[in-house]
Amino acid sequence: MRYKLSCFVLAFFLLISAPLSQNIQGEAEYSIKRANSEIIIDGKLDEDSWKAAARGGGFYQSFPTDTQLAVDSTQFMVTYDDQFIYVATICYDFLPSKPITNTLKRDFDWRRNDNISFYIDPYNDRSNGFTFQVTPDNVQREGLVILGGDVQDDWDNRWFSAVTKGKDAWYVEMAIPYKSIRYNSVPEWNIQFIRNNQKRNERSSWIQVPQQFRASDMTYSGRMVWDVPPPKAGTNIALIPYVSGSIGKNHEDGESTITNAETGFDAKIGLSNSVNLDLTFNPDFSQVEVDQQVTNLQRFEISFPERRQFFLENQDLFAENGFRTARPFFSRRIGIQGSGSTQRNVPIIGGARISGKIGKKWRIGVLNMITDEDKTAEEVSPAQNYSVAVIERQLFKRSRISGVFVGRTNLGSSFVEYDSTELANSGRLRDLTGNELDPEDTLITLSKHNYVYGLDYNLATISNRWQGNFFYHRSLDPGEQDENSAYGAFLRYQTTKTNLRFFARTVGEGYNAEVGFVPRTGVTSAGGRLDFNYFTDGKIQRHGPSIGPRYLIDANGKILDKSISGDYELQFLNSASFRVELEWQSVTLTRPFDPSRTDGAELPEDATFDWLNFSLSYSSDNRKPFTYDVFANSGSYFNGNRTNMGGNFIFRYQPILQIGVNFEYNNIELPDPFNDADLFLIGPRIDLTLTNKVFFTTFVQYNTQDENLGHNSRFQWRFKPVSDLFIVYTDNYLTSDFSPRNRALVVKLSYWLNL
């Protein structure tokens, strides 16, 4: 008891020792000075440079409250020399149990692991930057901060860290090379420190953040003032060559075994401190984890996330224009066809990308890639050239306006001319000779070229209360150009207790973004949502209702779809949550459709169906070794009924082993002559992390809708920063008799060279 009391007294004095002015958004200031001695990254913090560095602290909670200082305090120091920015943190921990570290694998789940995160905005735009994060077991996670506060943890780069553990604290040292980030040589940057103290169920940050907002949002940052402007990165050239070998066989098509050897490289060249040139030649993405399959009962195409490293840096410049269902550029159109067992890679010859910040207000992005002719499919795909160009100008404090151009040019002689007006509601496309084309097969080139250009405006205020997106894009094809524009508006107003959102979007019948993601044309959609949040001091940390309508209208003003839904959500203090929702929906079909998606009888075009659906979901305390998320939906469905349930169960033997199973079941009952359906999707997964450099993952997916049982095993040894050995084995089987469809084994070695 006396020990606990002394810890409490020590924590209290540490908390009150930091002046409250440190925590005010836009006013907090940290002075960084050059290191006066060599720093060895060992987590011990015993160098003279740390003794001389200014110490920041006084972290405020952002969960479970936003009005109190953190119970377990955190202090930080930052210094630099000619090559690195050095960061040190002291994370006090007065609970006797071990910190919560679920895994030793890189790019850990931020919410489920104790960690300290350093956020840096070297552009001073309070929108873009970098984050470097470390757990008490020295597991690293780095990411790009985009669009104010979104973190893309697929970004990978070279940096160093070490951790030591004491009786009442754990200590972190980081060394971040200037060559690993992009920055302006100005005397002030924006920084933020965020600590996720899972063991105590407390999140805190250096700059105080209202609990309804993300702590990662760079508007909540303080100023880091350099004693002199930061040094230039100097010669910044990195070469990442690779060699790979593979053996595989397509059993389904009766092909013989194919062996293959490949070599290629990526390169990063710093044109300035803030502008980078990325090059790739004969890129190989065989080590990228397979897509997590879904049961698709929609009438239109669904998208899968981009995981390939070359496309990720500054992705917001290239891939965030327009709205989610009206993107002019979707990088998976380049070099990938399909997903899961049906995924086919199209050979990429090479590509180049220039991206970064020019001055204080401008950002640029230029991407160009060339794919080779693909003769592996029934339809031969000719060589293509893809290009994207974006120029962005910051307006006011955080808003920005940008112009975008996306182009695809057929480099071969095999293409068809088509009538662009056939891209209307039907979703069917015919060439000028009357042959029907498959609009979902993006490898079948529809024209000699396709271009999209337009403007985007992103609104963001310093207070973070107002956010918005507005865009206007047009497409250009060799054929007729009727109704070839897409435009939309989104506006959000957020306070502590309310969150109001409104959107409207129109996609013309002739709008054709072949390199983008536009699942439906010839429609206008509009809707809104109002959320209420009530925060308490009890076991329920937050609760509140949400309600909103949505409409879909065709080009003639006819309402095709409409819905209204309401839900109530409870967020518990122990991190569990519960949600109940009721939704009414009305759908008018614009083409014949089989609701079971089993190639059965189809409902007729122009038929209208109304239904009511009730759903429940629950997520357990994610700090426990065994966690789960479950959901269930029930209600009518077109002219029948549907029951849907699923979830994800995870057991952890921390931090070495994680075993999980995600599943989904759909039961569809329809009257004769339409098909009933029982659709199962089951995905067991094992993650074994023996050290923070050796990872093994096995992922199995049983999908009755795709009639596929897929397996993917992936071994990774990171023997040096951003230098890896991968061994990947994958196979797929038919679910009917479990006969093999295809198998492949890939070995790949990559190495990061600084030149």
The secondary structure of 224-288, three-state, reads EEECCCCCCCCCCEEEEEEEEEEEEEECCCCCCCEEEEEEEEEEEEECCCCEEEEEEECCCCCCC
> What digits encode the pLDDT tens for the residues 553-601?
999 999 999 999 999 999 999 999 999 999 999 999 999 999 998 889 9
> What digits encode the pLDDT tens for the residues 239-275?
999 999 999 998 887 888 999 999 999 999 999 888 9
3-state secondary structure 348-393: EEEEEEEEEEECCCEEEEEEEEEECCECCCCCCECCEEEEEEEEEE
What pTM was computed for the model? Answer: 0.87
Report the percentage of the chain scoring pLDDT > 70.
Answer: 91
Domain ranges in the chain? 2-226, 304-478
- CB neighbour class for 148 (10 Å; exposed up to 12, middle 13-18, buried from 19): buried
> What digits encode the pLDDT tens for the residues 725-740?
999 999 999 988 899 9
> What digits encode the pLDDT tens for the residues 489-529?
999 999 989 999 999 999 999 999 989 999 999 999 999 99
**Separation between Cα atoms, residue 343 and residue 543, nearest integer Å:** 42
Q: What is residue 286's predicted lDDT score, i.e. its pLDDT?
A: 83
Q: What is residue 338's predicted lDDT score, i.e. its pLDDT?
A: 57
Q: What is residue 17's predicted lDDT score, i.e. its pLDDT?
A: 43
Q: What is residue 16's predicted lDDT score, i.e. its pLDDT?
A: 43
What number is the average pLDDT over the span 15-35? 70
> What digits encode the pLDDT tens for the residues 468-494?
999 999 999 886 678 899 999 999 999
> What digits encode the pLDDT tens for the residues 93-110?
999 888 988 899 988 999
3-state secondary structure 556-590: CCCEEEEEEEEEEEEEECCCCEEEEEEEEEEEECC
Q: At residue 373, does pLDDT exceed 50?
A: yes
Q: What is residue 542's predicted lDDT score, i.e. its pLDDT?
A: 93
Place of tokens 């109304």: 610
What number is the average pLDDT over the span 456-462? 93
Instruction: Identify whether the C-beta of residue 488 lies closer than 8 Å to the C-beta of residue 470.
Output: yes
Selection from 449, 524, 514, 510 nearest residue 482 by Cα:
510
Q: At residue 59, does pLDDT exceed 90?
A: yes
**Separation between Cα atoms, residue 476 and residue 563, nearest integer Å:** 34
Count CA atoms closer than 13 A to 45's CA, side-chain side: 25
Comparing 440 with 622, the larger pLDDT belongs to 622
Backbone angles phi, psi at 342, to 5 degrees: -95, 5
Count CA atoms closer than 13 A to 498's CA, side-chain side: 8
What number is the average pLDDT over the span 282-306? 84
446 pLDDT tier (thresholds 50, 70, 90):
low
- CB neighbour class for 420 (10 Å; exposed up to 12, middle 13-18, buried from 19): buried
Q: What is residue 289's predicted lDDT score, i.e. its pLDDT?
A: 81
- Sorted by sequence, the CB contacts under 8 Å of residue 710 that are 6+ apart come out as 290, 293, 340, 341, 700, 701, 703, 730, 731, 732, 733
Q: What is residue 414's predicted lDDT score, i.e. its pLDDT?
A: 52
DSSP-based three-state secondary structure for 490: strand
What number is the average pLDDT over the span 687-701? 94
Q: What is residue 9's predicted lDDT score, i.e. its pLDDT?
A: 45
Q: What is residue 3's predicted lDDT score, i.e. its pLDDT?
A: 41
| Tally of CB atoms within 10 A around 228 | 11
Instruction: Identify whether the C-beta of residue 382 lies closer than 8 Å to the C-beta of residue 410.
Output: yes
**2-226 belongs to CATH 2.60.40.1190:** yes
Selection from 489, 645, 484 nearest residue 555 by Cα:
484
Q: At residue 401, does pLDDT exceed 90?
A: yes
Place of tokens 């949505």: 550
Q: At residue 362, does pLDDT exceed 80?
A: yes
**How do 29-34 and 74-80 pair as beta strands?**
parallel
Q: What is residue 97's predicted lDDT score, i.e. its pLDDT?
A: 86
Dump the DSSP string for 526-547. EEEEEEE-EE-SSSEEEEEEEE
Q: What is residue 537's predicted lDDT score, i.e. its pLDDT?
A: 85
Helix-then-strand count for the chain, H and E: 3, 43
Q: At residue 115, does pLDDT exceed 90?
A: yes
Q: What is residue 428's predicted lDDT score, i.e. its pLDDT?
A: 40
Structure token pair of residue 418 = 């088509």
- Sorted by sequence, the CB contacts under 8 Å of residue 581 that are 6+ apart come out as 565, 566, 567, 614, 615, 616
Q: What is residue 596's predicted lDDT score, i.e. its pLDDT?
A: 92
What number is the average pLDDT over the span 71-83? 95
> What digits encode the pLDDT tens for the residues 121-151?
998 888 889 999 999 999 999 998 887 778 8
Dump the DSSP string for 679-739. EEEEEEEEEEESSSSEEEEEEEEEETTTTEEEEEEEEEEEEETTEEEEEEEEEEEETTT--
The 8 Å CB, 24+ separation contacts for 422-425 are 423/509, 423/510, 423/511, 423/512, 423/521, 423/522, 424/509, 424/510, 424/521, 424/522, 424/555, 425/509, 425/521, 425/522, 425/523, 425/554, 425/555, 425/590, 425/591
364 pLDDT tier (thresholds 50, 70, 90):
very high
**Separation between Cα atoms, residue 403 and residue 522, nearest integer Å:** 24
- Sorted by sequence, the CB contacts under 8 Å of residue 352 that are 6+ apart come out as 277, 278, 279, 280, 367, 368, 369
Instruction: Identify whether the C-beta of residue 356 lies closer than 8 Å to the C-beta of residue 182.
Output: yes
Selection from 108, 114, 77, 111 nearest residue 93 by Cα:
114
5 pLDDT tier (thresholds 50, 70, 90):
very low
Place of tokens 């662009």: 420
Q: Please name every residue paired with 699 in a beta bridge, in sequence order, or none if there are none.
A: 685, 712
Instruction: Identify whether the C-beta of residue 388 lies closer than 8 Å to the C-beta of residue 366.
Output: yes
Instruction: Identify whether the C-beta of residue 360 lies closer than 8 Å to the C-beta of residue 274.
Output: no
**How do 657-669 and 640-653 pair as beta strands?**
antiparallel
Distance of CA 585 to the CA centre of its chain: 29
Lowest mean pLDDT among 151-160, 282-291, 338-347: 338-347
430 pLDDT tier (thresholds 50, 70, 90):
very low
CA dihedral angle for residue 65, residue 66, residue 68, residue 71, rounded to 10 degrees: 60
**Separation between Cα atoms, residue 703 and residue 165, nearest integer Å:** 45
Q: Give residue 462's identity as a one-letter amino acid code.
A: I
Q: At residue 426, does pLDDT exceed 60?
A: no
Instruction: Identify whether the C-beta of residue 90 lies closer than 8 Å to the C-beta of residue 45.
Output: yes
Distance of CA 753 to the CA centre of its chain: 28
Backbone angles phi, psi at 134, to 5 degrees: -140, 140
418 pLDDT tier (thresholds 50, 70, 90):
very low
Give the number of residues written for the chain. Answer: 755
> What digits encode the pLDDT tens for the residues 175-193?
999 999 989 888 899 999 9
Q: What is residue 345's predicted lDDT score, i.e. its pLDDT?
A: 78
